[in-house]
Amino acid sequence: MGAGGDNAKLNRSLGLPLVTLYGLGNIVGAGIYVLVGKVAGFAGHSTTLAFLIAMVTAAVTALSYMELAGRYPVSASVSVYLHRAFGKRRLSTAIGLTMVGGGVASAAALAQGFAGYLNSFVAVPTIVGSVGLLVVIGAVAIKGIGESATMAAVLTGLEVLGLVLVIWVGRNAFAHIDVGHLLAIDPAVGIGGVFTGAFLAFYAFIGFEDMVNVSEEVKRPSRTMPLAILFALLASTVLYLLVVVVSTTLVSPAELAASEAPLTLVFERGGASHGVFLSLIGMTAAMNGVIVQIIMGSRILYGLAKEGWIHSRFARVHGAYQTPVIATLVVITAMIIGTALLPLVSLAQLTSLLVLIIFTLVNASLIVIKRRHRDHQGYINVPAAIPYLGVLLCLGTVVLQAFNW
């Protein structure tokens, strides 16, 4: 390690715009670029309804995160929330490591997706493309949070541009929208198909929970973090719904489900002649998702070590880079191992399941914390009913999916 070692601190260099873009990039990521077709395969013409259900579930829990992020602006945030509520060190540690595992698996799958897009331009074995991406992005993450967040912000701009272009080329679809039809249950798939689609679509909305793990690198975190979560979720929701409406209007659900690059197909069906541009942006989305997962996983390990819950070496911060290098290297190594083992759709479903369980516990922790500590210095204080509703929605989604498996 460089000078400073254990006593060095993380660098508070992130303001509201960068944190918002960092979160938006993680939410928007490969979820919408890859999974919109897979969701359509389950939900059929009810794909918009499936995304709305997923959005409501995510939004309620996001409100709980906003209050908790203001109360406890620290790394390893979820583990800390649970410890403040229940005082169970093993539970907090297990959940923190579960989040790291989910991030590792997600990044491994995203790296595969990147390699698949890359292979359409250059003939490179999937394992070479995915591992190469993880090594390069990992080096950026080790260099510093400022560089990582700036890179994520640039990539986010490209991702959003891609979605805006899809919306623009398909803008004529809005003239033919039947809102009642969009919100109706497609008889071909039934309510089971809608909820299975919603369960998978939920994967596309997660990401705001990763934002809180960089709280110790944010300026005025008690105010900045809740606002960044709100802005990132609002922006992603508007983009998603517009893209889904355009996609399912221009292309049949069956065609979307069969495509490995569904938004490229929508782009071309809308009359655009350069669909390859959307494929490049799909690669960008995967890159952004990977860098955010690397940051998230390493900061959780750092935070757990700082609390004394795992080995102290994970809390060591490089004196020059001001990043937790050992934690970052361990996360990258795990991602490289996982990228050869985990298929995309199964991974997305597993990630949704793990995140819904974590969200249930986060909402439950806020219920307990609000009872014990009514007054706090945080920026946002949500109504007491919000975490109860969050528990109900998250558990209900898991139970419904269990019946459909």
> Would you state the pLDDT for residue 43?
94
pLDDT digits (tens, 9 = 90+) for 314-368: 887 755 666 788 998 999 999 999 887 777 777 778 788 888 988 999 999 999 9
Phi, psi for 258 (deg, rounded to 5): -80, -15
Tokens representing 210 are 């990763």
* Burial class of residue 184 (count of CB atoms within 10 Å of its CB; 0-12, 13-18, 19+): middle
| CA 235/CA 269 separation, integer angstroms | 25
User: Which of 58-67, 111-120, 363-372 shows the lowest mean pLDDT across its residues?
Assistant: 111-120
More confident of the two residues 30 and 122: 122
| CA 261/CA 274 separation, integer angstroms | 13
The residue among 102, 137, 144 whose CA lies nearest residue 287 is 137
> Would you state the pLDDT for residue 404?
66
> Would you state the pLDDT for residue 45?
92
Q: Which H/E stretch holds residue 99?
A: helix 89-119
Are the C-beta atoms of residues 353 and 401 closer than 8 Å to each other? yes
> Would you state the pLDDT for residue 322?
67
Phi, psi for 9 (deg, rounded to 5): -115, 155
| CA 331/CA 310 separation, integer angstroms | 15
What are the structural domains of the chain?
Answer: 5-404 (1.20.1740.10)
Are the C-beta atoms of residues 226 and 66 closer than 8 Å to each other? yes
Predicted confidence band of residue 7 (pLDDT cuts 50, 70, 90): very low
This prediction has a pTM of: 0.82
In percent, the amount of the chain with pLDDT more than 90 equals 26
Mean pLDDT in the chain?
83
| CA 390/CA 405 separation, integer angstroms | 23
pLDDT at 399 over 70: yes
| CA 70/CA 381 separation, integer angstroms | 9
> Would you state the pLDDT for residue 360?
93
| CA 73/CA 75 separation, integer angstroms | 7
> Would you state the pLDDT for residue 394?
94
More confident of the two residues 149 and 56: 56
pLDDT at 224 over 80: yes
> Would you state the pLDDT for residue 319?
59
**Distance between start and end Cα atoms, the chain:** 48
> Would you state the pLDDT for residue 238?
93
- Residue 174's CB: how many other CB atoms inside 10 A? 12
pLDDT at 40 over 90: yes
pLDDT at 305 over 70: yes
More confident of the two residues 330 and 83: 330
In percent, the amount of the chain with pLDDT more than 70 equals 90
pLDDT at 272 over 80: no
pLDDT at 6 over 60: no
pLDDT at 60 over 90: yes
Q: What mean pLDDT do residues 15-44 have? A: 83
> Would you state the pLDDT for residue 4?
44
